[in-house]
Amino acid sequence: MPTKRLELIFQNASGRRTTLVIQDPRENLTEADVRAAMELILARNIFTSPGGDLTAITGARIVTRDVADIIAS
């Protein structure tokens, strides 16, 4: 059965990438929805990372994974 996750990718204060993952995002997400959420995360400084505060939006993507068991336990 396929699984989906939304990856929100930010740059942190040390210049490195930090990814926040949301499992099973709703189907009708738009770019505007995702960008607004990411801008809110930055504006309110909601999360930090080992490299410091999140400072910029780098990107976002939906990752779909389909696993087929060959031998099930």
Q: What is the pTM of this model?
A: 0.88
Please name which of 45, 7, 58, 10 lies closest in space to residue 29, comparing C-alpha atoms. Answer: 7
Distance CA(9)–CA(20), nearest Å, equals 6
Q: Could you read off the pLDDT of 19-69 as tens digits, one per residue? A: 999 999 999 999 999 999 999 999 999 998 999 999 999 999 999 999 888
Which strands form 52-66's sheet, in the order they lie side by side? 17-23, 2-12, 52-66, 48-49
Please give the pLDDT value at position 43: 97
